[in-house]
A and B are shown apart, each in its own frame.
Chain A
């Protein structure tokens, strides 16, 4: 049999495309790009995040739900009705696909918070325990709690995404098949990320595919978070519960905690999550030693350790980040108003044959791209 063994491909595939002018483009590009990296996944998971895809509902929380059965859907809907005005509720459009079998019930809701939710939250303290210790009644905290509640307590229901003007389409299958199944070529967005999965640590299930999200944060991740154990326990202190049998979700929650709740700028958040080495901090070449030291002292438990390259999407921007010694690949390219990030350069060249600039990002240093000033999605 020697020589005839199939090559065992390693790792996952990630790709992201971003337009700085918020020009919306079809999901077919990202689909083509991720298809190139077919061998980096094994058919046990693929998914996409599109931003700017629901302009007509831009102020609604778009909840994408996966249900194992009708009962979980009914329970979730009655829970949502208690807390939100459901302005639209419909199945997520799909087309039959020969390689996608046995999908769960896929449903989306466009939600607005009920006006009295804050008072209710205080009175009904029991429904969404434990209260997130932020000290402020940010409505997004409330939304986070609802997501945590559904994922934790409603068996068979799982929130795929919960942000505004964005959505996640994911499932078990090769990413190109998943994309076709979800008809993502029919959506237009100014940012797309995609993931092809080669799961090793957790079973292949629909909820376990990437991207992972909370609010408008979405994360596609190649690698493994070896510090998951402490990241998870750290997040629990702040009311985040990791329920999805995967290490990736901690990344989304950490961004939400450090940036949105603690108010750290994104650049500083990245510095906490992929902290510079002490040897570099001590040299203090860039005058950031004090900041780096403080971050490490306070946020050591949030340090992401282990091999990873991730793309983090949020409303208006995208971040590419690798672990401190870059044990997973990530390539960047620019062409006019477009920014591309992918596991392999081939995936970029497939859709952008002649970029203005191509480069490999540095270990632990984020690449951040945002909409140009004044541009509204």
Chain B
């Protein structure tokens, strides 16, 4: 069938500058460019991943939005029309990668942080200690101490706690959806930064074993790669119920991506599709979840925190309360901007609620029930900067997880084509010639730099707020003000409007 879909982008090659070195052709993972006496582009294939642009030694390539105009229509936008063409031509579901890119309000952008002036001095983080250390794990509501040999000692036994040097961890991204080199870089960076990476649901490759103490392993509905060794090689275990980019649905890693390494790590035959069912087939209620939590705690001899990851959906507060009472040590909440390697577009773009609202509602609910200490709250889903981190923490999160931001640090351009396996940057692909491009050492350095930069900025923010510990910002909504939000939104977020 002849396609009616116009190309999204136009690749322009300046043939006066071009030396015909063909590097661009080699670099394009999508087969857009070819050589016919000179470099020629098939615009239909271009995804604007910028790989050719970045590596052209002559700077001879530019990529532009296709200026092709549709008759102006506020309702039937070009994107809508093109989607209909696609489905009319294929009869399938539309697929996409990364997080929701639609124009929903970003509450982070409507919140402003406070700072000290005169009455309480701000603190200079270059001169004074500024503490970001955060412990992941369940805490009791109170402690007991006794006098022993003239010193007070703790008598309360605490559950397992993981020390994080900064309240930023890496979000779950599976080996399979991303490359082994990307996984290695995340694990190394987590180890260097004193924080955690998360395997996602694709198992743990042996090459990551040295970084065990900085790894959360995921137990998802497909149970890929889950065995005793997997649990032993982790700092914490996470049961994945849902994901912000695809709440309520399962996952599908196509057989083409299941090469030998992925097959061994996931413990499935090479070339078969890896299907994660929508629900866990042993979890149909909160009691079932509790059973799995305790099964995993038994399997790890109560030495490791066991948490649950859910997508932020309408009733997230009640769900989180149930999870806390079911015995989870941490709850990972993924907002509607959360990313993915592959998801039906209609699910990604229309389901879930923003992480800002979810975290505020959950924190409130757990406090009302007096069980806030029982769980560490991890907020994720579209965290773009240290400003977002600070705001998420002020709303009530203990820890923030970053997925998309980490990928961008490694070179990702958010072209949203992860599900094709053609990632020219070697991140979301298993094609060996592409994977090779992502140099783990350099990617590690980029990740470490990002976490370091954000951590420094967090310290500046704390200093401006006149506090020297992240705990004093956590849940301190008094230090936030809303701009342009209505009364109900302010009430849910628990913040006052600017000027009050």
- Chain A residues closer than 8 Å to B133, beta-carbon distance: 278
Nearest chain B residue, comparing its CB with the CB of A228: B478
Nearest chain B residue, comparing its CB with the CB of A227: B472
Q: Is the CB of B476 within 8 A of A300?
A: no
Q: A200-B119, A262-B142, A264-B143 are in contact. Are A237 and B370 (CB under 8 A)?
A: yes
Q: Is the CB of B474 within 8 A of A262?
A: no
A301 within 8 A of B: yes
B34 within 8 A of A: no
Q: Is the CB of B372 within 8 A of A237?
A: yes
Q: Is the CB of B121 within 8 A of A307?
A: yes
A295 within 8 A of B: yes
Q: Is the CB of B471 within 8 A of A201?
A: no
Alpha-carbon distance between A272 and B161 when the two chains are bound, in angstroms: 18
A354 within 8 A of B: no
Alpha-carbon distance between A277 and B128 when the two chains are bound, in angstroms: 11
- Chain B residues closer than 8 Å to A325, beta-carbon distance: 123, 128-129, 468
Q: Is the CB of A291 within 8 A of B153?
A: yes
A232 within 8 A of B: yes
Name which of B144-152, B200-208, B306-314 contacts chain A: B144-152
- Chain B residues closer than 8 Å to A200, beta-carbon distance: 118-119
A229 within 8 A of B: yes
Would you give the shortest CB distance from A8 to chain B, in whole angstroms? 9
Q: Is the CB of A226 within 8 A of B465?
A: yes
Q: A264-B143, A268-B152 are in contact. Are A226 and B467 (CB under 8 A)?
A: yes
Q: Is the CB of A298 within 8 A of B142?
A: yes
Q: Is the CB of A224 within 8 A of B469?
A: no
A82 within 8 A of B: no
A156 within 8 A of B: no
Q: A226-B467, A265-B152, A306-B466 are in contact. Are A294 and B158 (CB under 8 A)?
A: yes
Nearest chain B residue, comparing its CB with the CB of A297: B135
* Partner among A234, A290, A303, A307 whose Cβ is within 8 Å of the Cβ of B120: A307
Nearest chain B residue, comparing its CB with the CB of A281: B133
Q: Is the CB of B120 within 8 A of A226?
A: yes
A residues 287-316 with Cβ under 8 Å of B?
287-288, 290-291, 294-301, 303, 305-307
A64 within 8 A of B: no
A324 within 8 A of B: yes
Q: Is the CB of A227 within 8 A of B467?
A: yes
A129 within 8 A of B: no
- Chain A residues closer than 8 Å to B479, beta-carbon distance: 229
- Chain B residues closer than 8 Å to A296, beta-carbon distance: 471
Alpha-carbon distance between A327 and B120 when the two chains are bound, in angstroms: 9
Alpha-carbon distance between A329 and B469 when the two chains are bound, in angstroms: 21
- Chain A residues closer than 8 Å to B144, beta-carbon distance: 263
A residues 184-216 with Cβ under 8 Å of B?
200-201
B367 within 8 A of A: yes
Would you give the shortest CB distance from A108 to chain B, in whole angstroms? 33
A residues 228-254 with Cβ under 8 Å of B?
228-230, 232-234, 236-238
A372 within 8 A of B: no
B residues 101-138 with Cβ under 8 Å of A?
116, 118-121, 123, 128-129, 131, 133, 135, 137
Would you give the shortest CB distance from A168 to chain B, in whole angstroms? 24
Alpha-carbon distance between A279 and B119 when the two chains are bound, in angstroms: 28
For B480-491 the 0/1 string (1 means CB < 8 A from A) is 000000000000
Alpha-carbon distance between A233 and B480 when the two chains are bound, in angstroms: 14
- Chain B residues closer than 8 Å to A230, beta-carbon distance: 471-476, 478
Would you give the shortest CB distance from A192 to chain B, in whole angstroms? 27
Q: Is the CB of B154 within 8 A of A290?
A: yes
Alpha-carbon distance between A324 and B467 when the two chains are bound, in angstroms: 10
Would you give the shortest CB distance from B203 to chain A, in whole angstroms? 31
Q: Is the CB of B139 within 8 A of A297?
A: yes
B residues 364-380 with Cβ under 8 Å of A?
367, 370, 372-373
* Partner among B119, B147, B372, B477 whose Cβ is within 8 Å of the Cβ of A201: B119
B140 within 8 A of A: yes
Would you give the shortest CB distance from A267 to chain B, in whole angstroms? 7
Nearest chain B residue, comparing its CB with the CB of A8: B118
Which of A228, A229, A324, A325 has the largest number of chain B CB atoms within 10 A? A229
Q: A233-B475, A305-B467, A325-B468 are in contact. Are A294 and B119 (CB under 8 A)?
A: no
Would you give the shortest CB distance from B74 to chain A, in whole angstroms? 42
Which of A233, A278, A301, A325 has the largest number of chain B CB atoms within 10 A? A233
A46 within 8 A of B: no
A residues 84-138 with Cβ under 8 Å of B?
133
Alpha-carbon distance between A4 and B145 when the two chains are bound, in angstroms: 57
Alpha-carbon distance between A265 and B118 when the two chains are bound, in angstroms: 35
Nearest chain B residue, comparing its CB with the CB of A239: B370
Q: A224-B119, A268-B152, A278-B131 are in contact. Are A303 and B466 (CB under 8 A)?
A: no
Which of A238, A279, A301 has the largest number of chain B CB atoms within 10 A? A301
Alpha-carbon distance between A307 and B123 when the two chains are bound, in angstroms: 10
Nearest chain B residue, comparing its CB with the CB of A238: B370
- Chain A residues closer than 8 Å to B370, beta-carbon distance: 133, 237-238
Alpha-carbon distance between A60 and B370 when the two chains are bound, in angstroms: 32
A167 within 8 A of B: no
A223 within 8 A of B: yes
- Chain B residues closer than 8 Å to A301, beta-carbon distance: 471, 474-475
- Chain B residues closer than 8 Å to A223, beta-carbon distance: 120
B156 within 8 A of A: yes
Alpha-carbon distance between A65 and B467 when the two chains are bound, in angstroms: 35
For B421-444 the 0/1 string (1 means CB < 8 A from A) is 000000000000000000000000
Q: Can you list 28 A-B pairs with a CB-CB distance of less than 8 A? A: A133-B370, A200-B118, A200-B119, A224-B120, A226-B116, A227-B476, A229-B475, A230-B471, A230-B475, A230-B476, A230-B478, A233-B476, A237-B372, A263-B144, A265-B147, A277-B129, A279-B129, A290-B153, A291-B154, A297-B137, A298-B140, A298-B141, A298-B158, A305-B469, A305-B472, A306-B466, A324-B468, A325-B468
Closest 8 CB pairs of A and B: A229-B478, A300-B471, A229-B476, A227-B472, A305-B472, A230-B476, A224-B120, A305-B467
